[in-house]
Amino acid sequence: MKKWISFPKSAGEYSKQAHCDLPTGTYEREMGKEGFFGPACHFHHQHPPTAWISFDGPLQPHAFDLNELALAGPSPWDAHLLFSNHDTRIRYWQLKDAMTHLVRNADGDELLFIHEGAGDLYCDWGHLPYRDGDYIMLPRGSMWRLTPSSPTQLMLIEATQSSYQLPEKGMVGPHAIFDPAVLETPALNDAFRAQQGNQTWQVKVKRARQLSTLTYPFNPLDTTGWHGDLVACKVNWRDIRPLMSHRYHLPPSAHTTFVARNFVICTFAPRPIESDPGALKVPFYHNNDDYDELIFYHRGNFFSRDNIKPGMMTLHPNGFTHGPHPKAFEVGMKASRTETDEVAVMIDTRFPLDIHEPAQSVEWPGYVDSWKPKT
């Protein structure tokens, strides 16, 4: 148990409840520990905390248009490495044709998020069809390959030297957000048996970021049966039912989908917007002091951003105060929308992410200026 130096105090003019009924003419900013899980302080400012007129230095936020990436090679090991640290490696891959080899990641669990396309995944446990919006979790050491039925674009998120788990859901119970019963697992069906045979197959194994190739005179995906409690699985964002409160804007941590060592993955799915007159209708301004915040925009109109479209990513480094763009903040205060239509994947990492050349090549350099006051 952590023993924080923490005690409730207050001074000046302040709201009784965070994110609700702010003093007239003020802008709230949250500063907290451990993301949104530790002690926090809420400041009320006379001006938006993001209303800078210039920004110089390495703390700048970043935006990347992955739609501009060149086509990668035919293997996930050819995928564009965008970001990494000791705990995760985040890659982006486009695949048009069926893989002609198998792969195995011996460095950690692999999570695939399907941005576009559809097709079939074959792995040790059997056959699993996929479509856009699927998360597919492949335990460390899984053999697998994809056969697209339509061109596929996906993000690969490696849990380096760790494993994916489900978040603790606390008082809302184990069936909240998504019921574990919606998790789908592969089947030993006719499609799986049809791809077996005595043709030569290779398995390309990644270990310590180096590749080894194993060649077999048969397809090693020749499972005839299995038992146990370790299995590949998938869930689609359409099966996620986000927690909601019409009187209070819930923090991003309420939308956590997977947890791994030193990072979490959250899913922003369509939901009603807060209807209480005193509740904030957009994300609150906050310091990002303990985590880098990386967001991939899958579909819809992200209600706290301007000039962001599906297929883009933003990175807000830890220590960077951020919140809604000015236009989005104004729209939110007018309560002109009653629900969101966005789908986005957020990866919060406890330690800073390195930005690799493929991401740098498709960066929008003007992103830092998008918070400037409009003149």
Q: How far apart are CA 49 and CA 281, in angstroms?
A: 17
Cβ-contact 61, 315 below 8 angstroms: yes
Cβ-contact 254, 155 below 8 angstroms: no
Q: How far apart are CA 357 and CA 305, in angstroms?
A: 25
Q: How far apart are CA 161 and CA 163, in angstroms?
A: 7
Q: Tell whether residue 286 is among the known ligand binding residues.
A: yes
Annotated catalytic residue, options 19, 115, 249, 298: 249
Q: What are the strands of the beta sheet with 285-286, ordered from one edge?
A: 40-45, 27-32, 285-286
Kindly report the number of other CB atoms within 10 A of residue 197's CB atom: 10
Is residue 159 packed enough to be buried (19+ CB in 10 Å), middle (13-18) or exposed (0-12)? buried
Q: How far apart are CA 137 and CA 235, in angstroms?
A: 9
- Distances in Å between the alpha carbon of 114 and those of 15, 62, 155, 174? 42, 23, 7, 25
Phi, psi of 239 (to 5 degrees): -95, 0
Q: How far apart are CA 286 and CA 42, in angstroms?
A: 9
Residue reference for tokens 């800078």: 52
Cβ-contact 75, 103 below 8 angstroms: yes
Cite the DSSP H helix spans in the chain. Answer: 190-194, 326-333, 357-360
Q: How far apart are CA 270 and CA 298, in angstroms?
A: 12
Structure tokens at 103: 């792969």
Q: How many CA atoms lie within 13 A of 287 on its CB side?
A: 13
Q: How far apart are CA 311 and CA 307, in angstroms?
A: 12
249 included as an active-site residue: yes
Binding region for Fe cation: 286, 292, 322
Residue ranges at the known binding site for homogentisate: 322
Q: Active-site residue numbers?
A: 249
Residue ranges for the known binding site are 286, 292, 322
